[in-house]
């Protein structure tokens, strides 16, 4: 399939392929939009089945970043990068330096950051070859790992959804978390501290067990999470978890989590609405991390220290936007994802004009 024929290509400005055989790098960088500013989005390292799967993932994630950055009211466009490889065994300094060179060739049209399979330590090697990388540690402008801020936004979003849909606070609410990596683990701790009861799973059994020990969560097998009796289902693993098949297994009245591209296809949003399930659109509720990254980019470009107060202001506004989406969905009897995309597209096209 041609990249232009991919259903996820919609509206992209450019897609770039990079290869460095000596360093073992095979990567794609997708730039969806620079209407609001330079494209920004994380770099993901994954064992893709083939190159088409990697391209499609980059395209879907890049488009979602345009929406996410617009909804978070950031002066950034949307982009994403993917590296084909096993993050558990194929990482080397040379690989990440080669990736940094790839980012540098784009001349500032794309800023890279952390995503699945990538750590701030990996990004330090990327920085050796380009200035266009954020999510680092060790200097005044650095924001460090954005995962805790992502988790904070999701926590606030879940609290809002529970208040709107269940008319209660988080104490005693049961939340099923699918995936307890960086974001999911932080989220679990925040929810447990607020009195929620947790059910967790992860393909990494050791990670899931560690979170269960710290939070008192009940462990289930990865596939069994869909059948867990819970008030809230929080997808925090890879995308596509909510399909027309899986949603009928859920007992939760709320879906709110940190994964990107949670809906398997566009029709699922309408199906959720028809079933009376409150869905917090992923690119709205999980925008805390890119807000943190935007704060770092802002500091780097201005030559000033990182400003946590600026991040907090944007995070508060993000949750207000989520409230607007939920309110309009109820008033207009339309799915939340449809309304959120409408808001994002209007902000992008407005910036373009």
| Residues marked as catalytic | 80
Q: Is 73 exposed, middle or buried (CB count within 10 Å of its CB: 0-12, 13-18, 19+)?
A: middle
> How far apart (Å, rounded) are the C-alpha atoms in residues 4 and 1?
8
Phi, psi of 198, deg, nearest 5: -115, 145
- H/E segment holding residue 293: helix 288-302
> How far apart (Å, rounded) are the C-alpha atoms in residues 33 and 203?
33
Residue matched to tokens 């500091």: 299
Among 37, 41, 21, 38, CA closest to 29: 41
Residue matched to tokens 């407005």: 350
- Cβ pair 311, 291 in contact under 8 A: yes
Among 143, 144, 213, CA closest to 180: 213
Question: Which residues are registered as beta bridge partners of 81?
Answer: 29, 43
The C-alpha angle 100, 104, 18, rounded to 5 degrees, equals 65
Residue matched to tokens 């899931």: 208
């Amino acid at each position: 399939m041609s990249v232009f024929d991919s259903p996820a290509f919609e509206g992209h400005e450019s897609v770039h392929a990079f290869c460095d055989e000596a360093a073992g790098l095979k990567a794609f960088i997708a730039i969806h939009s620079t209407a609001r500013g330079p494209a920004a989005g994380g770099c993901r390292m994954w064992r893709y089945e083939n190159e088409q799967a990697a391209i499609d993932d980059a395209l879907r994630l890049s488009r979602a970043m345009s929406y996410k950055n617009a909804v978070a009211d950031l002066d950034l466009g949307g982009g994403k990068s993917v590296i084909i490889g096993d993050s558990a065994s194929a990482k080397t300094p040379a690989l990440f330096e080669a990736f940094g060179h790839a980012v540098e060739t784009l001349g500032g049209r794309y800023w890279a950051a952390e995503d699945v399979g990538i750590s701030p330590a990996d990004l330090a090697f990327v920085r050796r070859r380009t200035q266009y990388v954020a999510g680092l540690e060790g200097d005044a402008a650095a924001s460090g790992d954005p995962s805790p801020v992502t988790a904070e936004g999701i926590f606030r979003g879940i609290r809002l959804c529970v208040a709107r849909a269940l008319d209660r606070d988080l104490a005693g609410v049961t939340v099923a978390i699918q995936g307890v990596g960086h974001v999911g683990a932080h989220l679990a701790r925040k929810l447990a501290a607020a009195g929620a009861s947790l059910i967790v799973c992860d393909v990494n059994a050791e990670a899931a067990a560690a979170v269960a020990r710290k939070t008192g969560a009940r462990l289930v097998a990865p596939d069994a999470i869909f059948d867990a009796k819970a008030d809230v289902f929080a997808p925090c693993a890879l995308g596509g978890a909510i399909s027309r098949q899986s949603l009928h297994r859920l007992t939760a009245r709320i879906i709110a989590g940190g994964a990107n591209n949670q809906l398997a296809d566009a029709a699922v949003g309408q199906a959720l609405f028809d079933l009376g399930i409150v869905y917090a659109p992923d690119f709205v509720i999980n925008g805390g991390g890119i807000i943190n990254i935007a704060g770092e980019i802002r500091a780097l470009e201005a030559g000033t220290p990182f400003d946590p107060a600026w991040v907090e202001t944007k995070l508060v506004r993000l949750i207000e936007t989520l409230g607007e989406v939920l309110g309009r969905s109820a008033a207009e009897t339309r799915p939340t994802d449809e309304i959120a995309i409408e808001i994002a597209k209007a902000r992008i096209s407005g910036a373009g004009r």
